[in-house]
Structure 1
Amino acid sequence: MNAVETFELVLLLLAAVVGLHAFADKLRFPPSAALLVGGGLLAFIPGLPQVTLDPELALVLFLPPLLFDGAYFTAYGRFRAHLPGIISLAVGAVVFTTCLVAVAVKWLVPGLPWAACFALGAIVSPPDAVSARAILQRVQLPRRLQALLEGESLLNDATGLVLFRFAVAATLSGAFSTGEAMASFAVLALGGAAFGLIFGRLAVLLLKTIEDRTLFVTTTALICWAAYLGGEALHVSGVIATVAAGLVVGWYQHEVMPARVRIQGTGFWRTMIFSLEALVFILIGFSLRSVVDRAGGFAEVTATMAGPVLGIIVAVTAARFLWVFGSDALLALLRRAGVRRARPVGTRQAGVLAWTGMRGVVTLAVALTLPDTMPAAT
């Protein structure tokens, strides 16, 4: 496609976003699901060009503003109060899902090396921040449950990305060190948090010097990408750096932003986040055609991949349920043993928590970064 055709396609997708979103609202149907289905149907319209998401561009373009926006509006006190539960989901559940999926893949496709199985497990292990946001905006949940889901969506991508990198390196090199992986994860996580906190504080000082409202709002938009790219440039977690910077700027927003600036900024961010989230979902659906073509067509997908794909979906879902209900049962036992700080959420809330592990843009983007030399990468 030339530049004009690309621009025309973007306009078409934006028009489709408006139509599908309005249609979903009228039928009280989740807009994210409508955009996914609509994008998938659009992909197979004769004459429309194929769209292939560039994985690096998808992560850099969509992830930082969505993470920053979520962190900015997160109540810091509530986030800190529920941090143990958030870490349990964002780290423990992701690691557990990676391992369980790896075992399932090895059983379903015995010819794959263990490291490649773990790489696939890491790809599908982190629930998607965009999907979680899309659901949370349309339902009323207990405050603790909402805090857990919001916090998990901010941090779990970092765990999945780190696990994926180590699994790919182990597959290609044939060597893996658990101690080295844990040390590297600690450096990436702690380094990302430290850089994000420092960068966020510097951003607050910068914002205090800006008086023009339009320039102020524009600068806040640049902060999220600067935090992410700065963290990646320093070889720490850009995801955690963005979240930490967003928490700091959000914490000090009332000190640096007059009410009129916050109103203008809120309108700008709502429009930008809505556009990015909608484009993510419709592009995921629109990329279905290229995924099917890479696999060799629907017949090949049905014949050779339907079983393993179904098995992986079952493993991912089961892992989420096992971790959530297992953790809640452990908290209930500790509570009965006299540990007052152990507060189980209960069966009903645990059921909601277990069903909210949607996958989305990060899973797709990371899958597309698999090296061609990986076993079964194509």
Structure 2
Amino acid sequence: MLDSFPFYLSLIAVILGVIMLANKIKVAYPVLLVLAGLGISLIPGMPTVHIEADLIFVIFLPPLLYEAAWSISWKELWKWRRIITSFAFIVVFFTAFTIALVANHFIPGFTLALGFLLGGIVSPPDAVSAGAILKFVKVPRRFSSILEGESLLNDASSLIIFRFALIAVATGQFVWQEAALNFSWMVFGGVGIGLVTSYIIMKCHKHLPTDANIDIALTLITPYIIYVAAEEVHSSGVLAVVSGGLYLSTHRMIFLNSTSRLRTVNVWESLCFVLNGLVFMLIGLDLPEIIEGLDGTGIGTAIGYGLLITLALVVSRIISVYAAVFTTLIARNFITVADAGHPGFRGPLVLGWAGMRGVVSLAAALSIPVTLDDGSAFPQRNLILFITFVVILSTLLLQGLTLPWLIKKINMPDPDSIMPEDQMYNKIRRLMAQEALDHLKTNYSTQLQNRQVLQFFASKWENSGAESDDNSLMDEETKTIYLDLLNVQRDLLLKKNKSLVVDEEIVRRHLLYLDLEEEKLGLL
């Protein structure tokens, strides 16, 4: 392991370079990372990278799911709960069923159980890929919310299918009653364990004498605690982490102070940035090992099977999305739905096309045991692994590279837009200023007359509340000037810091203030 350390260190540098290139040419970085991993794996003398499934499920998956749960809007998640639930469960089940039929019919030696196993592996779309692509194009908020919400749950539903199919392949039988009972425990037990564990952790944050560093450390171990606790009792660790993350996210203002919140966000963004980069690079690097295990089937034939499964995945997802829309149009006559209007054909097409597969699929395929309980080789394991790799690569290249073009081409209007974003921002800002000013004058009138600092705040809020013909807080030229002023102040602080008389801690506090001011420019 120590001998390979320079290789993995260089790998991090390559990942950073590839992501910077992806941002430069406006291509989703998962696409370039997989291709870069493929290229590196073909260089003679490169160390062979062996990916353990537990490495993905235990090390990578919990923090990535936890961070996603913290980032998503609970309000949006609840608003679109019906469509998100249908995508995360019904669409995944339908996709797995379709793949089972296609594999059983077209791939020699594939039983329905093996087909469902493959379907459970490749059915969940990857959230990171879609998020990286949507960063470069503007889509209505509802679509990004649905994709984000789906990604939080579809991993759990697909892994449940995978587990049951694995049992069916290993035992040769499938008991529906036991499966239904186990499914209920995995879903409801996972959610319950996630909520209970996160509640206990929240109380630890709130009542123990923690500081910002301890709070950050607790958030780092929280997803692992939740995941392991759920998996130990054979419920869904994925749903446990998601439910726990959502619960803590909605209560973050209660148990974390402003310093902890600010620092935690920075730490988690950096951590998940590195983890996401690593997992997609590892997908490409694992190709030689996958090909070596491909015995008895020609590479060309195996690629053909992979492309066939990819086609079935794309078509079944698009059909599922339009079927979900059709069901919603019928259901609105009987129940209240989030969107009572007609969605048209463009929105469902985007949701259907945003179905790139990723690291969860590869980890599931790698977790297939090499042998059955009787010692015989697990049927079609190597072919399943190769097909999974082809599906991941082809969906990333096909859909990942064409999705931005598709979004721009169909030019979707935002049906939820009430007013431009900058106008909404300014309106809320004026309301906040007026509320603070009224409270100050009502409750602290005497102090307001005697203290210049409070008078300064009052004047600031009065100016903030004033209407302006310019709806933007700062135009780009003003931002540039203000940024230059901040840099001048930084230079002054750095010069003053050379003096032995000036306390460097004071200088750092002022530098932090300037950093926060510069950070605020990105929000204006």
- TM-score, with structure 2 as normaliser: 0.69
Q: Secondary structure at the match of 1:4?
A: coil
Query: In the aligned structure 2, how far is the partner of 1:83 from the partner of 1:165?
Result: 25
Residue in 1 aligned with 2:221? 222
Q: Any residues of structure 2 matched to 1:277-296 within 5 Å, and which?
A: 277-295=276-294
Query: Deviations for 1:268-311, whole angstroms, at most 9, x for unmatched residues?
Result: 111101000001111111111211222259x9211x21221111
Q: CA deviation at 1:374?
A: 2.4
Once the two structures are superposed, the pairs formed by residues 47-66 of structure 1 within 5 Å of their partners are 47-66=45-64
* SS of corresponding position for 2:30: helix
Taking the aligned partners of 2:117 and 2:290, their CA distance within structure 1 comes to: 19
Note the C-alpha offset of 1:328.
0.8
- The aligned runs of 1:197-346 (5 Å cut-off) are 197-208=195-206, 209-295=208-294, 300-302=298-300, 304-335=301-332, 337=333, 340-341=336-337, 343=339, 345-346=343-344
Query: In structure 2, what residue type is equivalent to 1:179?
Result: Q
Poorly superposed stretches of 4+, deviation over 6 Å: none
Counterpart mapping for 1:115-130 below 5 A: 115-130=113-128
- Whole-Å separation in 2 of the counterparts to 1:156 and 1:241: 13
Higher relative contact order (CA closer than 8 Å, sequence separation 6+): 1
Q: Report sequence identity in percent.
A: 35
**Partner AA of 1:377 in structure 2:** R
Structure 2 SS opposite 1:322: helix
Amino acid at match of 2:186: L
The CA distance in 2 between the partners of 1:219 and 1:137, in whole Å, is: 30
Asked if the contact 2:50/2:286 (under 8 Å) is kept, the reply is yes
Q: What's the offset of the Cα at 1:26? A: 1.6
Within-5 A mapping of 1:69-148: 69-148=67-146
* 1:165 CA displacement: 1.0
List per-residue Cα deviations over 1:213-249 (Å, max 9, x = no partner): 1111111111011111111012111000000110111
Root-mean-square deviation over aligned CA pairs: 1.8
Q: Kindly provide the amino acid, as one letter, of the partner of residue 341 in structure 1.
A: V
Q: C-alpha distance in 1, partners of 2:203/2:116?
A: 43
Alpha-carbon distance in 2 for matches of 1:137, 1:63: 22
| Superposed displacement of residue 38, structure 1 | 0.6
- Verify the 8 A CA contact 2:80 2:338 in the aligned structure 1: no
Match of residue 19 from structure 2: 21
2:381 maps to 377
CA contact (8 A) 2:38 2:287 kept: yes
Aligned CA distance change for structure 1 residues 252 and 295 (closer, same or farther; 3 Å): same
CA distance in structure 1 between the aligned counterparts of 2:298 and 2:168, rounded to whole angstroms: 29
Cα 1:210–1:270 change in 2 (3 A) is farther
Is the 2:83–2:324 contact (alpha carbons within 8 Å) kept by the matching residues of 1? Answer: no
The whole-number CA distance in structure 2 between the counterparts of 1:138 and 1:227 is: 34
- Corresponding residue SS for 2:298: helix
Instruction: Please report how far the alpha carbon of residue 179 of structure 1 lies from its aligned counterpart in structure 2 after TM superposition.
Output: 2.9
Counterpart amino acid of 2:72?
A: T
CA distance in 2, matches of 1:6, 1:230: 33
CA contact (8 A) 1:91 1:156 kept: yes
Q: Give the C-alpha shift of residue 132 in structure 1.
A: 3.4
Q: Shift of the alpha carbon at 1:186?
A: 1.1
Which protein has the larger Cα radius of gyration, Structure 1 or Structure 2?
2
Q: Is the Cα–Cα contact under 8 Å of residues 328 and 346 in structure 1 kept in the other structure?
A: no
State yes or no: 1:367 paired with 2:371.
no
Range 112-121 or range 62-71, more displaced: 112-121
Residues of 2 paired with 1:201 and 1:99: CA distance? Answer: 37
Assess if the C-alpha contact under 8 Å between 1:116 and 1:374 holds in 2: no
Q: How far apart in 2 are the matches of 1:47 and 1:198?
A: 50
Structure 2 unpaired stretches of 5+:
371-376, 383-524
Deviations 1:58-77 (A, max 9, x none): 11111101100111122222
Q: Match of 1:193?
A: 191
Consecutive unaligned residues in structure 1, runs of 5 or more = none
